[in-house]
Structure 1
Amino acid sequence: MELPFFHGKITRRTCEELLSKNRKNGSYLIRESENVEGALCLCVFFEELVYTYRIFREHQGYFRIETTEGIPARLFRTLKDLIYNYEKPNQGLITNLRYPVMKPKASQRNQRFKSEEDDIYDDIDSDYVTVLP
């Protein structure tokens, strides 16, 4: 999936951490559902909480989202169409979508892991013990 705010197979906890970093109401991302095979989750930050809405792929290839009870289900041809619709207020989500949380590029992920490795090996000599034969 080529959407920059699609994070793929991340955990709910990782998702909540990513959305909580910005602390902006209306921040959102899409991830794969951990519990429902083939479903996606639209996760939205609002008032210190993360709200999760399941997105299902219908047989005809359309996308359907579960929103607030009482709001009729709508079908969207693409995920971009779905996002565009929910950028408008009062469409059935807790708030409208405003700030996409982009998936980090591979080079950014690698840099983060490299700096974590550097931290691990910073004090490698401090635990050095001479072993005599």
Structure 2
Amino acid sequence: MRRLTMDLPYYHGPLSKRDCETLLLKEGVDGNFLLRDSESMPGVLCLCVSFKNLVYTYRIFKEKHGDLLAFLQTVEGAQRQIFPNLEELISKFEKPNQGLVVHLLRPIKRTRPCLRWRRSKINICPLQHSLNLTQTS
């Protein structure tokens, strides 16, 4: 059974970059993370993680590949990795030295339903297909 992106407690929906940075940097801890919708690219997710008082953003792109999620390049030259769901993608990057600037330590959970969920409780995120992830600067 596929789990909707909206069901993930660390998915914040259409959270602005500024609000994301405020949430992640509030406690000054490396490895805080959350998922949000990209502001500039509709249908794309951003995995945002704090490290040394900065927020690093990795874009997760849809890619058709059966029912799997594809994760593409966290750093230049990194090999493509495929995951069956977002939970396994996150689980992989909770381990050190997997290609992110820092491993994911603490999910920043939303405190209320995300805007996308409030608009339509049956809105199935298009990320049920496949995902690619690339780091933005």
Alignment TM class, shorter chain as reference: 0.7 to 0.9
CA shift digits 1:28-81 (9 cap, x unpaired)? 000001111211000000000000000112213424244111111212111100
2:63 aligned to which of 58, 66, 69: 58
> Which amino acid in the other structure matches residue 36 of structure 1?
M
Q: Tell me which of the two structures has the higher relative contact order, counting C-alpha pairs closer than 8 angstroms and 6 or more residues apart.
A: 2
**2:21 counterpart SS class:** helix
Q: What's the CA shift for 1:86? A: 0.2
> Which amino acid in the other structure matches residue 91 of structure 2?
Y
RMSD of aligned Cα (Å): 1.2
Which runs of at least 4 in structure 1 moved beyond 6 Å after TM superposition? Answer: none
Unaligned stretches of 5+ residues in structure 2: 1-5, 114-137
Contact 2:32 2:106 in 1 (8 A): yes
Larger Rg, first or second structure (1 or 2): 1
Give the structure-1-normalised TM-score.
0.75
> Which amino acid in the other structure matches residue 68 of structure 1?
V
CA shift digits 1:81-100 (9 cap, x unpaired)? 00000000110000000010
Give the structure-2-normalised TM-score.
0.73
Count of matched residue positions in the alignment of Structure 1 and Structure 2: 106
Contact 1:55 1:66 in 2 (8 A): no
Contact 1:68 1:92 in 2 (8 A): yes
